[in-house]
Each structure stands twice: as C-alpha cells, then as structure tokens.
Amino acid sequence: QGLGRAGPSATADPLLGGLLSPDFDDRSCLSRSRASLYRQPSLHNLSSHLVSRLRRYESLHQLCGPGTPAYSRAVARLREAMDGHASSNSTSSSDTECSYIIWTPVEGLGNRILSTASAFLYALLTDRVLLVHHPADDLNDMFCEPFPGSNTTWVLPEEGFPIQGIKGLNVRTRESLGNALGRGEGSRDPPAPWLYVHLQTDYKPDDRRFFCDDGQETLRGVRWLVLRSDNYFVPGLFFLRRYEEELVRLFPRRDTVFHHLGRYLFHPSNTVWGMATRYYSSYLAPAEERVGIQVREFKYARISADQRYKQIISCASRESLLPAVENATLPSSASAHHQEQEQEQTKRKAVLIVSLNGDYYDKLSSLYYEHGAAAVTVSVFQPTHLGTQHSEKRQHNQKALAEIVLLSFSDVVVTSAQSTFGYVSQGLAGLRPWVLMLPVDGKVPDPPCRLASTIEPCFMKAPHYDCRTRGDSDNGKVLPYIRQCEDVSYGVQLV
Ligand code: GDP
C-alpha cells in the first residue's frame, strides 16, 4: 500500500539472503519481515560463514538465555562465587556452562546502537550470550527481540540479579578489567566471577588492554562481563590476532560489518515501525527518488543556521543531489494545459530532513515553493524538530529511531560528520553517505561535504595503544584495511 519501491513483490527477500532466521512470528515484529519492502536490497555480499555463525549463536541463546535452566544455574553460580562460596555441586558434568556479556546503555541512541552491535560481534567471537540491561523505561518498546525463541529474551532480568549497581559502574570501579590488570590480577585462578569492561570515551591505558592479548586472556575464563561503551569498537577487535582469522571468514569484505549486524539486530518495535511507515506512505512513497539529509549540530562545532543552510545547499548543488532552482517560476508563456502536461512528465523527488532544528526545513521548502526546478518537482518533509536531546525519554527515543529508519529508506543519504545517529542510518541503508563536514570557525568548510569512502561507522575514541610497549601507537597505520576516519582525526574505521 503506497510503497514507493516495487511493493510486496516476489523479488523482495524478507530474510535478507539468510541473514535473518525464519523462526519468528511475524505479527509480534512487523519490521523484521517488512523492512525489505522499504529498503534498498543489500548490495553487499553476506558470507555463508556469518549466516551459519548467527544460527549457531541463536541456538546458544536459546540454551543459555534468561528463562532457561542453564541461565538459572549460571546466576546461582555467580551469586555463590560473589558470596565467596565454592561452586555448588548441583551441576553435572554434562551441563552447559554458559558465559555472558551484559551491555548497559550510555549516551544517545546512535551510540547505543553502535556499541550494542560491537558487543554482539564480541559475543559471537567469544561464544558469549549477549544480554541488554534496560535500567529505565527509555529503551522499552524500541526494538524487537533479535533472537528467536519464545522461551527466552535478550533483556537482563534485573530482579534478584547478583551484580548490583550496574548503572553506576565507571572507570574507577574496582572490578573493571583495567583496574584488575593495573593491580597485577590479570591471571587470577580461579578467574573472577565477573568483570566490568569500560570502553567509554574516558577510558584509561589499562582499560585499552581489552584490545590486547593479555586483556583477552584475563577475560577468557570470566563467565560474566558487564560492558559499557559509547563507541563502535568493532575495528579494535581486528587488532586482536586471536580473532583475526574468524573475522576474515565472517566478513571477507570488512567494510560491511555494521551494515550486516545492524540489519540483523535492530528491528524497530511495532510502535516505531508504525511511525516510520505511516510517514513514509504519506509523504515519501509517491516520489521516484528520496534524498535523506541528517543535520546534526554539536556544541563544540558551532555554526549559525544560515551558514549551515548554505553548507547544505552548496553540498547539494556541487554534488548534484538536488536540482538547481530556476530564477523565475515557470515561464508565463506556458499555457495552463502545457504546464499540466509538463508536470506529468516531471520526476518527483522527496527530500527528508532529519534534525532537532526546524530551520533547514523552513528554508529548503520555501526555496522549492517559491521557485521551480527543471523537470523535477521537489517536496521537502521533516517529521519532527524536537529542539533538544532527551535520551532519557522513551517517546523521544522512539521518534529518533523512526527517523533513523526513515533515513535508511533513502536512495541518497547526506549525514553530518561525527554523528553516530548518521552512522547508523547510512549503515542500515547500506549507502556511502555524503558527509557534511564540520564547520571551520563557524563557517562553511571547503569542501562542504565529501562522499565517504566506507559505509562503516568510525571508532571515534580508538585505543591508540601499543600492546607490546604499553605506550602510544597510531591505530590508523597498523592494518591496511583500518584507517584514520575521514571525519574524526582521532578515530579509525574499516575500509
Ligand atoms: P550523535 O550525538 O549525533 O552521535 O547521535 P546519538 O543518537 O548518539 O545522540 C543524539 C540524540 O539526540 C539522538 O539519539 C536523539 O535523541 C537526539 N537527536 C539528534 N538528532 C536528532 C534528529 O535529527 N531527530 C530526532 N528525532 N532526534 C535527534
């Protein structure tokens, strides 16, 4: 109904070439089976190894996830170990011993999605089960369960869980990997019952040893990990020799990691999907082409709305993303009949503006209202302009996610430098975005935008740590397929 693409057709592939499991009930999560009707099909090869690892992970989750006997045993063992008791003998040698990584949120939605995807890849590499900690209401009714199995969930049941105060864990926490290594407790026997992995922007050199062999060796026998990160730390996993071979098999094309994991993991809830698809059908579907423009402003890179608008227009005209306007409206000599005929032949372009700020929509829609463009009609839309970020509010996050999803339905994407919100949109779309570069001294930079060389997000706060010398190193120069990010000089990304 009103789908701009082919619509429900025999060619649409809801399971995305085997990326998604068929073992789901469609109604509980419409987006999972319907996303392929709205998004461009992926042009990026999916390895059969990734598909088989995902199915293996799903079996592990069904065996070890919350609600299963193995989970209850693992929690009981954790509690005993934390109380200082030896493990009870209620386990028989045939019982599976499961290991877990608990992801806990920090920062905005983009950061959260990217760190969840990173944690999931780490779980795949280390045979851990990924659980998400939702301490407040802000992440409820956002995403569907990504893993099949009605007997279990990926949400950590908080009641009675022995590790208390997860929300307060930080760089100073005694149980952090960095602090354990700093105290020389890296090779404890028996291993600690649980450890905290701190990969947030303020992480210290010892925390960065997560990306070194000794860090990984310390974590190996620890059944429960809690992770907090605001980063897309996937590129860092490629620095670990022990995972290299497996990563290469999973992702022969290294620049598609988030694209595949993002489409695998993040299925918006029916509430969010309803917002996105209602908007799409009403405004974007009638067009032949959709251009999504995400405009993000950061306090540390101030620019006036006028200058920012100039930047958008300058990018769009240099790169021919939007049609140039004619100085006058349609020629007055054209008869009404003639005009109608012309309009029938014109192409319709829909421009989706996504921003906290409503100014760009006002200016751009006025431009195309007041002036025509040759052979194209341009309609401009913006679902919300919420003003300020409120990541603690569920409805705010639902709207943000609906806009990320809408951007991912675009044929051309323009994003803003250094925005994780933009990274997620381009990754789900599977498109290299045109990136609006950071302003220079409050002015339009030259060039105003650049076509990104990869669809991969940037690991903004890369460790830049040399595991051998324990000093600084430039992570952008170690591997041929990991380079300094184009929009964050400190960061690195897969290309
Ligand atoms: P980043 O700060 O750009 O890296 O992206 P994040 O998603 O991590 O954090 C920004 C948060 O601000 C988002 O999650 C939203 O809550 C809000 N936000 C920023 N830009 C937009 C926007 O264009 N639309 C909506 N609805 N929310 C936005």
Instruction: Give the domain ranges of the chain.
Output: 16-262, 270-458
Is the shortest distance between the CB of 391 and ligand 1 below 6 Å?
yes
What is the CA(448)–ligand 1 centre distance, in A?
A: 21
Contacts of 394 (CB under 8 A, 6+ apart): 137, 138, 139, 140, 141, 142
Region label for 17, one of left (φ > 0), alpha (ψ between -120 and 50) or beta (otherwise): left
Classify residue 114 by its DSSP letter: H
* Closest to 383 in 3D by CA, of 396, 392, 369: 396
Q: Which amino acid is at 114?
A: L
Helix axes 109-126, 257-265, angle to 10 degrees: 100
Q: What pLDDT score does 278 carry?
A: 98
Nearest atom (ligand 1) to Cα of 111:
8
Residue of the CA atom closest to atom 2 of ligand 1: 419
Is the shortest distance between the CB of 403 and ligand 1 below 6 Å?
yes
Q: Which two tokens stand for residue 332?
A: 């007055």
Is the shortest distance between the CB of 145 and ligand 1 below 6 Å?
no
- Choose which residue among 200, 308, 354, 421 to substitute to test ligand 1 binding: the one with the highest number of ligand atoms within 8 A of its C-beta: 421
Q: Average pLDDT over the chain, rounded to whole?
A: 92
Q: Are strands 482-484 and 492-494 parallel, antiparallel or unpaired?
A: antiparallel
CA distance 298 to 356: 11
CA distance 111 to 35: 22
Q: What pLDDT score does 342 carry?
A: 58
Q: What pLDDT score does 423 carry?
A: 98
Structural element, H or E, at residue 98: none
Model ipTM over 0.85? yes
Is the shortest distance between the CB of 379 and ligand 1 below 6 Å?
no
- Choose which residue among 389, 390, 488 to substitute to test ligand 1 binding: the one with the highest number of ligand atoms within 8 A of its C-beta: 389
Q: Are 225 and 194 in contact (CB under 8 A)?
A: yes
Q: What pLDDT score does 329 carry?
A: 43
With a threshold of 0.90, does the pTM exceed it?
Answer: yes
What is the CA(296)–ligand 1 centre distance, in A?
A: 8
Neighbour count for residue 94 (Cβ, 10 Å): 5
Structural element, H or E, at residue 353: strand 347-355
* CATH architecture of residue range(s) 270-458: 3-Layer(aba) Sandwich (3.40)
Q: How far is CA 389 from CA 413, 451, 485, 493, in A?
A: 22, 27, 25, 26
CA–chain centroid gap for 110, Å, is: 6
What is the CA(90)–ligand 1 centre distance, in A?
A: 48
Q: Are 275 and 267 in contact (CB under 8 A)?
A: no
Residue of the CA atom closest to atom 23 of ligand 1: 355
Question: For residue 268, with 0-12 CB atoms within 10 Å meaning exposed, 13-18 middle and 19 or more buried, which class applies?
Answer: buried
Classify residue 369 by its DSSP letter: H
Give me the residues of the chain with pLDDT under 50, please. 1-2, 6-10, 328-335
Question: For residue 119, with 0-12 CB atoms within 10 Å meaning exposed, 13-18 middle and 19 or more buried, which class applies?
Answer: buried
Residue of the CA atom closest to atom 27 of ligand 1: 400
Q: Which two tokens stand for residue 404?
A: 């990320």
Q: What pLDDT score does 327 carry?
A: 66
Q: 459 pairs with which residues across the strands?
A: 492
Is the shortest distance between the CB of 384 and ligand 1 below 6 Å?
yes
Contacts of 61 (CB under 8 A, 6+ apart): 129, 130, 147, 149, 152, 154
Is the shortest distance between the CB of 176 and ligand 1 below 6 Å?
no
Query: At 143, is the secondary structure helix, strand, or coil?
Result: strand
Q: Are strands 434-436 and 449-451 parallel, antiparallel or unpaired?
A: antiparallel
Peptide bond into 447 cis (omega under 30): yes
Q: Which two tokens stand for residue 226?
A: 């809690």
Classify residue 416 by its DSSP letter: E
CA distance 49 to 51: 5
Beta strands in 135-185 (DSSP E): none
Q: Which two tokens stand for residue 136?
A: 């407040």
